[in-house]
Amino acid sequence: MSKIKTIGILTSGGDAPGMNAAIRAITRAGIYNGFTIKGIYRGYEGLIHDEVKTLTTEDVSGIITRGGTILKTARSMEFMTPEGMQKAYETCQKEEIDALVVIGGNGSLTGARNFGMEFNFPVVGLPGTIDNDVNGTDDTIGYDTTMNTIMQCVDRIRDTANSHERIFFVEVMGRDAGFLAQYSAIACGAEAAIIPEEMTEVDQLKEFLTRGIRKSKKSCIVIVSESPKCGALYYADRVKNEFPEFDVRVSILGHLQRGGSPTARDRVLASWMGCAAIEALKTGQRNVMIGYRNGEAVLVPFEYCIRTEEKRVDKTMIKVLNELSI
């Protein structure tokens, strides 16, 4: 039988659509199962500085439709120090918080792992990131909404690309993971995707240009994963220099990808994971992330989901885009 009476919730790192649905689910499932639920504002920074409030079912009413996070979020350098973690633990003691549910990506789950190990403290994580780059789960909270946002934007950009016979390089988020670029390219009917997983293997721009555009197409869309060195601007400049006959434009979607009301899929996924987090704590689980694999809930040890080996795009999807973009 669990000795946990009070559970704290925090959101950390980049915001993702569906985080509010997860907060709502954790709060209501927790109260339903007899726990007191406390919201921790501004992530680990708020945990250090005791920005804590008891949540009621009314506090989370109506938030399932909203993007972002009502608990706010922040990146905390102080939490990465032993002194910062000690302050956070003292807040848990003061607020009588017996366990934490942390919603965030790789960095947030790393912090959850470290905190749980340092103080032998029960922590359960939910994968909340638009990048879908967390190991141990097929999908992350926010990924589906962001995919749909990118698709809607690119559908509009294509109208202009066709009208002016232009090549558009559209830059999307994802950092070191190409999930958003690869899968949105297929969904949008784009002619190519340039992703980190392929950058060391082939000259993706040259491959794309020689595959058929010069023969058959005067307008096209290329989705590019953001990168400090090889983003959309880099590839657009290359085309201008190497293939000056083409009219080239760049559209960097930026932070509009993070916002907006979550899709039905993200709302269901976040709600389901939130309830699973409460169930995990009820049964004595700790230092695990709630994952989604093949339609089932799985408990993934933090050590696995934050391992250095990166989650990779399925290369069969690269083949699919290549075949469909002729």
Active-site residue list: 131
Contact 236, 216 (CB under 8 A): no
The residue among 11, 12, 17, 121 whose CA lies nearest residue 55 is 11
Q: Cβ–Cβ contacts within 10 Å for residue 244, how many?
A: 9
DSSP letters for 208-248: HIIIIIHHH-S-EEEEEE--TTTSHHHHHHHHHHH-TTS-E
Number of H helices, E strands in the chain: 12, 11
Instruction: Give the tokens for residue 196.
Output: 């980190």
Torsion of CA 81, 83, 87, 88, to 10 degrees: 20
